[in-house]
Structure formats: C-alpha cells, structure tokens
Amino acid sequence: MTIRLVAMDLDDTLLRNDFTISPRVLEAIQKAQAQGVKMTIATGRMTVSARPYAEQLGVDVPVITYHGAMIQQVLSGEILFRRVIPSALATEIVQDAAGRGVYTQIYVRDRVITAQRNHFSHEYERIASVRMEEADLSILLAQEPEGVEKILLMGEEAALDQLAPLLRQSYGEKVHITKSKPCFLEMTDGSVNKGVALAALAEHFGIDPSEVMAIGDSFNDLEMIHYAGLGVAMGNARPEIQEQADIITASNEADGVAEALENYVLARRTGQKG
C-alpha cells in the first residue's frame, strides 16, 4: 500500500502539549512532501487558528477545518467546501443551551462569538490563539443570512456526556455531535464530519481511500480514521479511539506523527521494510 494523502489532526496529535510542532515531526512531514505525498490538516479549529501551522509546514493542500464543515486553501483563501448549521436551527440550539446554563460559542467564518466571556472563553483563547467576541447570540444569528460552521459547548465532561444524548434526541440528524477534548461538545451540520471532508478531498485529487492515512486522537477523528485505508490513533488517544484504529503510534509528546510517517509512508516509498 502506497500512501498518497495524509490528514493529521492538530491538538494532541500534530501538536505537542505546548502547541508546537517538534523538529522530528516537521522533518518527517517535509520529507513526505518532497516525495510527492500530499499532507493536510484536519481539525475542529477555525481556519484562522489552523493557518499558522499550515504555513509552518508549507502545506499547499486545502485544509479541513470546523470538523469538516469547511475545506479551504490556506494560501489563496479559496473555499472549496462550506456547510453550515442554518441560522434558525443554530438559534434554537443556542437558546436551548442557554436555558440549561451551558456555556456556548458560535463560529461564523473566522469569527468566534459568545454571549459573555468567562474562564471557558479565556482558556479557549489560550488554546486556539484567537480573540473571542461578545454579542447577543440570538440577535447576531437573526442577522446572519446563512448560518454557522460550528457551535461549541464547554463544561465538565460528565455533564456534557449527559447532555449529548438529550441533544441528539432533540435535533436528530440535523446536527453532527462530537468531542475533540473532554470539556468540549461540538456541533456541525449533520451531513459533515472529518471523514466526509477527507473523502471529498481525496476524490478531488483522484486518490483512492486505500491510499489515504488519517492520524488523530479523539472522537472527532473517528470518521476519518474509519475512512482512511490506514487509520492511525495516537499513543495518547483515548482507548475508545485506539480500539478502532488500524495502528497505534507514539504519543504527541513522543513524535507519534513522525513515527507513523517514518514507518508507513517514508520507509515504504524508499523500499525499506516498514
């Protein structure tokens, strides 16, 4: 099997815990690109938050953001694919969350907005290196003609795990509900996820699923791990994710992305045993 396209999650996968890319990982990615392998990022982050990493890696392949709700060419800004939660439905969800006392953020293109900033928003700003806006979400959504890429709820994991089935019961297949971190519960349009976006990107390049590697660590990575011919779970991934992957690599702190590329992409392209 020859890998021609690799999709990598950002947080807790490509990035170390300090949100940097290790020299070994960077070198492995650059070597793969030099050999003609297409490398991309597939993240729940907004595009503006993913762009610095794509630029650091020299990624010239469109990146997948908002858990697959958008595919965008980083250098030109061209949007290849965008699917939103319609404004009316987003308003209903935001009001439902507010009634439950759950902290909520909405994402409109490269803006992230919350009703009132607090410790959750400060932590998110630290992680994503973005600036949060404050606004009345219902008024903002009433003025938004299309909709939002993503809705993020933040709270204790146990509380969010209890809330998720209630939201699925209320909204059914209208939204896709997933988690990227224990304290995040995230919603996109029901027709999209990282797997759907990765399939669209592979088709765009004429690449077969068997020639795709996907690397991730959390629930929002499962669909692309299932889609790819070689689904890779990080050594720091939750057991539920590792159980569904084809292989398990080292952790994000131990250059797991580099290990996967060295063993299953670079070695096989140079004829070495991998």
Q: Read off φ and ψ for residue 242, nearest 5 degrees.
A: -60, -35
Residue 247: its pLDDT value, please? Answer: 97
SS3 content of the chain, % helix, strand, coil (to 5): 45, 20, 30
- pTM for this structure? 0.91
Residue 195: its pLDDT value, please? Answer: 97
Q: Report how far residue 265's alpha carbon sits from residue 262's, in angstroms, rounded to the nearest whole number.
A: 6
- Name the class of domain 85-189: alpha beta
Q: What is the mean pLDDT of residues 51-57?
A: 94
How many other C-beta atoms lie within 10 A of the C-beta of residue 27?
14
Greater model confidence, 46 or 272: 46
CB-based contact 73:201 (threshold 8 Å): no
Nearest to 112 by CA among 124, 99, 96, 127: 124
Domain boundaries, the chain: 5-82+193-269, 85-189
CB-based contact 241:10 (threshold 8 Å): no
Q: Report how far residue 190's alpha carbon sits from residue 144's, in angstroms, rounded to the nearest whole number.
A: 19
Residue 270: its pLDDT value, please? Answer: 53
Q: What is the mean pLDDT of residues 233-255?
A: 97
Residue 127: its pLDDT value, please? Answer: 86
Q: Report how far residue 227's alpha carbon sits from residue 51's, in angstroms, rounded to the nearest whole number.
A: 24
Considering the candidates 9, 12, 189, 217, report the single residue annotated as catalytic: 9
Architecture of the domain spanning 5-82+193-269: 3-Layer(aba) Sandwich (3.40)
Instruction: Report the half-sphere exposure of 24 (CA within 13 A, side-chain side).
Output: 13
For residue 229 the two structure tokens come to: 């011919």
Give the contacts of 134 (CB within 8 A, at least 6 positions apart). Answer: 113, 114, 115, 116, 117
Alpha helices for 39-193 (secondary structure H) = 47-57, 87-99, 119-128, 137-143, 157-171
Q: Is residue 189 flagged as an active site residue?
A: no
Q: What tens digit of pLDDT does each residue of 189-205 get? A: 999 999 999 999 999 99
How many other C-beta atoms lie within 10 A of the C-beta of residue 239?
8
Identify each DSSP E strand in 119-236 by its residue range.
133-134, 147-148, 150-154, 175-178, 184-189, 212-216, 230-233
In sequence order, the β-bridge partners of residue 71 are 64, 81
Q: Report how far residue 60's alpha carbon sits from residue 187's, in angstroms, rounded to the nearest whole number.
A: 28
Q: Report how far residue 83's alpha carbon sits from residue 182's, in angstroms, rounded to the nearest whole number.
A: 25
